[in-house]
Amino acid sequence: MGSNGRLNRFLRKVFLVDLLEGMWLTLRYDFAVARPGKPKELYTEQYPKERPQVAERYRGAPRLNINPESGETLCISCDLCALACPEHLIVVTSVRDEKTRRKVLTTFSYDTSRCMFCGLCEDACPVDALELTQDFELANYTREGAIWDRQMLEEGPRPTRYVR
C-alpha cells in the first residue's frame, strides 16, 4: 500500500468516515419508514402486526382432521403415525367397537416440543387424518403445554391475533 493509501485510511479513521457512512445509511432507512404510506425499502417483518407468508410446503402445527359434515374424526386409530415417528412422540389410544369391530379413537397426544417436523407421520397416515399445517405459532409457557391432546389437535392453536 502506498503512502496515499495509508494517509487515506488514517484520515477516514480520524474523521470517523465509516461510522458516519453507516449512520447515514441507517437514517436513510429510518426516513423511509417515517414517510406516510408504504415504506419503499423495509426488510424487517412487522410481526405480529403483519403476518409472514410461509412457504407452501411449510410443515408446522399438527392437525387431526375431522369430517366437516359429520364432525367425526378421520383417524382410524391404526397407529401408523406413531410407529413412523422417529421421536416416538405420538401416542394413540383406542377401544374396539364390539358392534362394528372397528377401532374407535379415544385419545391422541402429540408432543410438539420434541417434534422435528419431518413429516413422516403425515406421510404414513393412510387416510390423511394427520396433517402438518402452515401454522407456525407453537410457543408455550410450559413443557406440558407443548403436549397437544386430541381436542387441541382438532381445533388448532389459537394465538392472539394482533391487528394494526
Distance CA 23, CA 25 (A): 5
Binding string, 62-101, against ligand SF4, x = CB under 6 A?
-------------xxxxxxx--xx-x-xx-x---------
**Minimal distance, residue 69 CB to ligand SF4, in Å:** 18
Length of the chain: 164
Q: To which residue does cell 364432525 refer? A: 71
Residue 155 vs residues 27, 90, 144, 149: alpha-carbon distances, Å: 45, 17, 18, 10
Q: Using the minimum distance from each CB to ligand SF4, give the nearer residue, 54 or 127.
A: 127
Neighbours of 156 (CB within 10 A): 14
CB of 144 to ligand SF4, least distance (A): 17
Q: In angstroms, rounded to a whole number, what is the distance separating the alpha carbons of residues 103 and 107?
A: 12
At 59, which amino acid appears?
R
Q: How many CA atoms lie within 13 A of 110 on its CB side?
A: 28
Q: Which of residues 1-40 bind ligand SF4 (CB under 6 A)?
A: none
Among 11-19, 109-117, 136-144, 146-154, which window interacts with ligand SF4 (CB under 6 A)?
Answer: 109-117
Q: How far is the CB of 109 from ligand SF4 (least distance, A)?
A: 11
Q: Report the residue from 23, 33, 95, 127 that binds ligand SF4 according to the rule CB under 6 A.
A: 127
Could you say which of 66, 91, 104, 120 contacts ligand SF4 (CB under 6 A)?
120
Quick check: 63 and 131 in contact, CB under 8 A?
yes
Residues that bind ligand SF4 (CB under 6 A): 75-81, 84-85, 87, 89-90, 92, 115-121, 124-125, 127, 129-130
